[in-house]
Amino acid sequence: VSTVLTRPAVGTPRAAPAAPAPRAASTGPSPTQLARTDLLAMSSTMIPFGIALGVTVASLRIGDGASAAGAVLMYAGAAQLSATTMLSNGAAFVAVVLSGVIVNSVCCSTGLPWSRPSGTSRGGSAGSGSTSSSTGPSSRPWGGLH
């Protein structure tokens, strides 16, 4: 899925003083529209990942409440999966937190030069996989996912 990234027009010809040209920022899509477009591009991988994660977590018998709370509180797929698995196996809280941090760590997953996926100059979102789309908003005027 590719996202058509559009920027506000730059260098548009100047209009006559009687009819001033519209501001460049108003010609491009709004930040809200850009957010929706970027999220749409990510949804193709994020939704199947979330459903698979939900099935896995439900099969761990840790409880539906804990599964839903994990999705909201941890907000990260791979770390949530590893943490929930360890909790269901009775691991110590410190070990669960440390494992979640490691899985979610930018340093371990994408920050090291030799661990980056091919074709990317900077890493994707840490560990989640669902937010590591290369078609993210990296070319936005105000920054992007990294």
Partner 1 sequence: MADRTGFRRYWLHFGVLLLSIWTASVAVGVLLAPVLPSLPHIGLIGLALFVSMLMPRLTGRPAVASAATAAVVGPLTTLLVPSLGIIAGACAGVAAGTVTARRIS
Q: Which of 102, 106, 135, 138 binds partner 1 (CB under 8 A)?
A: 102
Comparison of 12 and 115: residue with beta carbon closer to partner 1: 115
Of 115, 132, 116, whose CA–CA distance to 124 is shortest?
Answer: 132
Q: Who contacts 42 (Cβ-Cβ below 8 Å, separation ≥6)?
A: 130, 131, 133, 136
Residues forming beta bridges with residue 143, ordered by sequence position: 140
C-beta of 22: minimal distance to partner 1 in Å? Answer: 14
Q: Who contacts 130 (Cβ-Cβ below 8 Å, separation ≥6)?
A: 42, 45, 46, 49, 50, 77
Owner of token pair 């990294």: 146
Q: Does 5 bind partner 1 (CB under 8 A)?
A: no
Q: Does 72 bind partner 1 (CB under 8 A)?
A: yes
Could you tell me the two tokens for 51? Answer: 């459903």
C-beta of 45: minimal distance to partner 1 in Å? Answer: 10
Q: Does 97 bind partner 1 (CB under 8 A)?
A: no
Owner of token pair 């199947």: 48
Could you tell me the two tokens for 91? Answer: 């691991």
Q: Which of 25, 44, 122, 139 binds partner 1 (CB under 8 A)?
A: 25
Q: Which residues bind partner 1 (CB under 8 A)?
A: 25, 30-32, 34-36, 38-39, 42-43, 46-59, 64, 67-68, 70-72, 75, 77-78, 81-82, 85-86, 89, 91-92, 95-96, 98-99, 102-103, 107-108, 112-118, 127, 129-132, 137, 140-143
